[in-house]
């Protein structure tokens, strides 16, 4: 397996534009997580899915952020409109079913570095 | 809510020495605690997990302890090497269930000098 795949690796966009980040989890993993990492706030959980269903989106900053998981092999995180304070590295991670999550941990992608100017 | 505290200052260690990193949490003791390694420009990589009923866990040159009385985990790298230089993150579930979401500490940057 190629691991968790995220695209793009880097994104530079102008304030007000729509940004879509993409993630392909590891096949067979039931859980998918979107995190955001900044120097100030560290790694923050935005939202997670179980079997394609959003379970907890309490970390989503505001209505400008939305996430979808239309099938087991694809998820998107969309920011519309984007603002400079959204600049961060966005990570997608996946993990096996709940009973083995603690054993195997999360597998992270390489992240998307978003810069909003 | 649960909070994780890791030393934000970088730790500089001479090659060959043992590096010890600390993770403290503030609220209830979780069912388990995890440690991850993160290199610049990469996502965190899972290293190992220790359960609340385990005092110590080892994996090659890594050793983790878990003290629920002190609400603390220590992460040791013995015979440290320059390749061990990275940021190390502590993580634990927000609830007692193994299905609870995991939150991360801010990490401690470790530098091993030759």
| Three-state SS letters, A56-90 | ECCCCCCCCEEEEEEECCEEEEEECCCCHHHCEEE
In this prediction, what percent of chain B has a pLDDT beyond 70? 95
Torsion from C-alpha of B7, B12, B16, B21, nearest 10 degrees: 0
Question: Which residues in chain A are closer than 8 Å to B99, comparing Cβ atoms?
Answer: 50, 98, 101
Distance CA B25, CA A75 (A): 32
Among the ranges given (A10-14, A104-108, B31-35, B99-103), the one the predictor scored with the smallest mean pLDDT: B99-103
Question: What is the DSSP pairing of strand A112-116 with strand A10-13?
Answer: parallel
Structure tokens at B99: 């299905």
pLDDT, one tens digit per residue, over A22-33 is 999 999 999 999
What does the alpha-carbon distance between residue A26 and residue B112 come to, in Å, rounded to a whole number?
33
Greatest distance between any 2 Cα atoms in chain A: 42
Whether pLDDT at A90 is above 70: yes
Label each residue of chain B as H, E or C: CCCEEECCCCEEEECCCCEEEEEEECCCCCCEEEEEEECCCCCCEEEEEEECCCCEEEECCEEEEEECCCCEEEEEECCCCHHHCEEEEEEEECCCCCCCCEEECCCEEEEEEC
Taking CB atoms and an 8 Å limit, are B104 and A33 in contact across chains? Answer: no
Residues A36 and A112: beta-carbon distance below 8 Å:
no
Contacts of A109 in chain B (CB under 8 A): 43
CB distance A38 to B107 below 8 Å:
no
Average of per-residue pLDDT across B13-26: 96
Of all residues in chain A, the one with the smallest CA distance to B5 is: A42
pLDDT one-digit tens code per residue, B21-58: 999 998 877 888 999 999 999 999 999 999 888 989 99
Instruction: Give the minimum alpha-carbon distance from A97 to chain B in angstroms, rounded to a whole number.
Output: 8
pLDDT band of residue B98 (cuts 50, 70, 90) is low
Which pLDDT value is given to residue A105? 86
Partner residue facing A43 (CB), from B31, B93, B104:
B104
Residue A63 φ/ψ region, left for φ over 0, alpha for ψ in the -120 to 50 degree band, beta for the rest: alpha
Q: Which residues of B touch A (CB under 8 A)?
A: 31-32, 34, 36, 41-47, 49, 51, 89, 93, 97-99, 101-107
Q: Please give the Cα distance from B41 to B20 (Å, whole number).
A: 24
Q: Tell me the pLDDT band of A102, cut-offs 50, 70 and 90.
A: low
Taking Cα atoms as reference points, which of A70, A79, A87, A84 lies closest to residue A20? Answer: A79
């Amino acid at each position: 397996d190629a691991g968790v795949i995220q695209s793009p690796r880097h994104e530079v966009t102008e304030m007000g534009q729509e940004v879509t980040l993409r993630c392909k989890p590891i096949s067979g993993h039931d859980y998918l997580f979107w995190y955001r990492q900044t120097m100030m706030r560290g790694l923050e959980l935005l939202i997670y899915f179980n079997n394609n269903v959003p379970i907890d989106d309490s970390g989503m900053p505001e209505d400008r952020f939305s996430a979808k998981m239309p099938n087991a092999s694809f998820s998107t995180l969309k920011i519309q409109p984007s603002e400079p304070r959204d600049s961060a590295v966005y990570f997608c991670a996946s993990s096996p079913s709940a009973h083995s999550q603690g054993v195997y941990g999360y597998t992270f992608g390489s992240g998307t570095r978003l810069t909003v100017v | 809510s649960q909070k994780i505290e890791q030393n934000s200052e970088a730790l500089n260690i001479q090659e060959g020495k043992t590096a010890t990193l600390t993770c403290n949490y503030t609220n209830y003791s979780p069912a388990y605690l995890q440690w991850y390694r993160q290199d610049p420009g990469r996502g965190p990589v899972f290293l190992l997990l220790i359960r609340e009923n385990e005092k110590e866990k080892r994996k090659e040159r890594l050793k983790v302890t878990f003290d629920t009385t002190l609400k603390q985990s220590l992460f040791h790298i013995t015979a440290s090497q320059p390749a061990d230089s990275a940021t190390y993150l502590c993580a634990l579930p927000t609830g007692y269930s193994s299905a609870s979401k995991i939150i991360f500490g801010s990490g401690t940057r470790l530098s091993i000098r030759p």
